[in-house]
Amino acid sequence: MTEESFNLLFGTVYRYLKSLNLIKEEYDSEIGLAKFKKYDFNANGSISYE
Report pLDDT for 29. Answer: 87
Cα 21 from chain centroid?
A: 18
Helices (H), 1-50: 3-19, 29-39
Report pLDDT for 20. Answer: 97
CA dihedral 22, 24, 29, 31 (to 10 degrees): -80
Report pLDDT for 41. Answer: 87
Query: Is a pLDDT exceeding 80 seen at residue 49?
Result: no
Its pTM stands at 0.74
What confidence tens digit (pLDDT) does each residue in 6-35 have?
A: 999 999 999 999 999 999 999 988 988 999
Report pLDDT for 4. Answer: 92
| Contacts with 7 (C-beta within 8 Å, 6 or more apart), sequence order | 29, 32, 33, 36
Minimal CA–CA distance to 27: which of 6, 9, 11?
Answer: 11
